[in-house]
């Protein structure tokens, strides 16, 4: 039995509605039952601001994946799907990358994708997706709110607040990035 600390945390949510796509992430990083940091930035712009992404999982692993995705986006400019598929191939076949423990949500003007270490490149239905420990809570809340008279940012903020009220590994210190679509 391993005695290594188990890192928990992260709720990442993407909402696409109207003329906006939003990726929001909470700021909590926990080890066991201790909050290590409450203001982590898990969402950031990529490709000169043409793409936004958020990660759930080990921080160093996520930064490695962000760097690899940036390189793929340089290789395949304005082709988010192609860049993500190429990253997923590398992630599954490269011995080093295969050990990385993270998931990502990335979005550009046209597409939102979830990337996993098992080689999945998934496009969510209805423009809403969530990952991480509170991802399903935020996803459920956003789906319930998507038909309301609220814009993408308001839905994301409300849904993330609901997730923070339910998931002990999620807090209300949000990073929110947006793109016009």
Task: Catalytic residue, from 3, 10, 59, 112: name it.
Answer: 10
Task: Band the pLDDT of 29: cuts 50, 70, 90.
Answer: confident
Greater confidence (93 vs 67) lies with: 67
Task: Give the helix, strand, coil percentages of the chain, each rounded to 5.
Answer: 35, 30, 30
The CATH number that applies at residue 55 is: 3.60.20.10
pLDDT, position 6: 44
Greater confidence (1 vs 72) lies with: 72
Residue 1 resides in a domain: no
- Rounded distance between C-alpha atoms, residue 181 and residue 179, angstroms: 6
What average pLDDT does the segment 44-49 reach?
96
Residue 2 resides in a domain: no
Question: What is the tally of structural domains in the chain?
Answer: 1
149 exposed, middle or buried (CB, 10 Å; 0-12, 13-18, 19+)?
A: exposed
pLDDT, position 148: 97
pTM of the complete model? 0.92
For residue 30, pLDDT over 60 is answered with yes
For residue 7, pLDDT over 60 is answered with no
Average pLDDT, the chain: 90
- Examine the residue annotation and report whether 118 is marked as an active-site residue of this protein: no
Instruction: Tell me the residue range of the domain where 16 lies.
Output: 7-180
Residue 133 resides in a domain: yes
pLDDT, position 171: 96
How does pLDDT run across 109-156, given as a tens digit for each residue?
999 999 987 889 999 989 999 999 999 999 999 999 999 999 999 999
């Amino acid at each position: 039995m391993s005695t290594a600390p188990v890192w928990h945390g992260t709720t990442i949510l993407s909402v696409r509605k109207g003329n906006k796509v939003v990726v929001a992430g909470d700021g909590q990083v926990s080890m066991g039952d201790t909050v290590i940091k409450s203001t982590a930035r898990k969402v950031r712009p990529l490709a000169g601001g043409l793409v936004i992404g958020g990660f759930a999982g080990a921080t160093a692993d996520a930064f490695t994946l962000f760097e690899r995705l940036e390189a793929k986006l340089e290789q395949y400019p304005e082709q988010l799907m192609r860049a993500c598929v190429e990253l997923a191939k590398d992630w599954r076949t490269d011995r080093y990358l295969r050990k990385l423990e993270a998931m990502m949500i990335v979005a550009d003007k046209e597409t939102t994708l979830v990337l996993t270490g098992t080689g999945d490149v998934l496009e969510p239905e209805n423009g809403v997706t969530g990952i991480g420990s509170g991802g399903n809570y935020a996803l459920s809340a956003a789906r319930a709110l998507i038909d309301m008279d609220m814009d993408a940012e308001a839905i994301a903020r409300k849904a993330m607040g609901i997730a923070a009220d339910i998931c002990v590994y999620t807090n209300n210190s949000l990073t929110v990035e947006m793109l016009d679509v």
